[in-house]
Amino acid sequence: MQKTLKTLLVSTLLISSAFSVAHAQPTTPSPAKNAVATPDNAIMLTVFLKHDQSRSLPELKTQLEKQGYYEAFPPEGVEVVSWNTVMGIGQIVTLRFPASRLIEVNLAFERTAWGSFKTEFYPTYDAKAIALAERDRVLKQRTAQ
């Protein structure tokens, strides 16, 4: 009796799971590949591409080429704010793009950069105007005293 009940329960769960998966609506919209960054939808992302120091540069470049890195990164329409080589680390790239394209940007790294680079991602914002305004405020305060 217990074995029959267990079998029936497992069968019911499997059938309901299959039905749910077959009729499920996607929970996230597909990224809009032609979305353009605007002040109210843009995000900036700084990426550390730490190169595998146990391998030579020609080896790393060959792997990147084989994986399609140079074709896939950066994705079309993603703005490269800065791209620097940092000795002892690798490359640090800051990108600006619509938030809806985050998955696309992430997949470009996962599919083409891993193996040659270890990646670290940091949400970023431009604080230059804020920092300069704060500096000006302090300097004006000092001269007023």
Give the chain's domains with CATH numbers: 42-130 (3.30.70.920)
DSSP string, 101-140: GHHHHHHHHHHHTBTTEEEEEEEE---HHHHHHHHHHHHH
Tell me what pLDDT residue 34 has: 66
3-state secondary structure of 59: helix
Query: Please, which residues have CB within 8 angstroms of residue 106's CB and are 6 or more apart in sequence?
Result: 121
> Is pTM, for the whole model, over 0.85?
no
Cβ(70)–Cβ(60) below 8 Å? no
DSSP state of 24: P
Question: So what's the pLDDT on residue 39?
Answer: 66
10 Å Cβ neighbour count for 45?
Answer: 19
pLDDT in tens, the chain (145 residues): 555 545 444 444 444 444 444 445 555 545 466 677 666 678 999 999 999 889 999 999 999 999 999 999 999 989 999 999 999 889 999 999 999 999 999 999 999 999 999 999 999 888 888 899 999 999 998 888 8
